[in-house]
Amino acid sequence: MLPLVDSIDHFLVFRPLAPPVLLAVLVAAGTLYPSATDPRSPSRGDTCVMIAATAGVYLSTWLHYHLGLMVTLGGKQPALYSIHLPGVDQLPVLLLRTVLGLLVIAAFRFLGKTLICQLLKRVCGLDTAPSKDGRRRAVVEVPTKLFTYLMVSW
């Protein structure tokens, strides 16, 4: 199983065709799986969140590699940087970076959700408001979650 995963990982990070293939798989997986028979089931939304987050990580890794911001270490070369545990004096900076990171993630989530809902309203004429039971229709929920979490994980 691991050689297959390694081959897929290598393709998704190093090959020029990876982004279109990854986006096609993302749209197909979000559209086709799962075909929830129960409209209150959260499985479709959860699946969209997971595949969009994974696609965002792979797309950003692919972009970093092709822009030269990430290098590969072939063979058994030592790591480029040593890893040290933060000291007590670095704790305020660590907490500040964590809070700022969470704020940026929340802003991207809000922005992504707002943009895709407005786009679905204006271009497709879809009602993006939740229904009486608090759920959205799949035609609204799938693109909203795919776009939002692709932005967040980028």
Each residue's pLDDT expressed in tens, for the chain with a length of 154 residues:
678 888 898 899 899 999 999 989 888 887 777 665 566 667 777 888 888 899 999 999 999 999 988 877 665 666 667 888 888 999 999 999 999 999 999 998 998 888 888 888 888 777 767 665 545 676 777 788 888 888 888 7
The pTM (predicted TM-score) of the whole model is: 0.75
Q: Provide the domain limits for residue 38.
A: 2-153
Task: Tell me how many domains the chain contains.
Answer: 1
Those residues with Cβ within 8 angstroms of residue 59's Cβ, 6 or more apart along the chain or in another chain: 19, 22, 150, 154
Grouping H, G, I as helix, E, B as strand and the rest as coil, residue 86 is coil
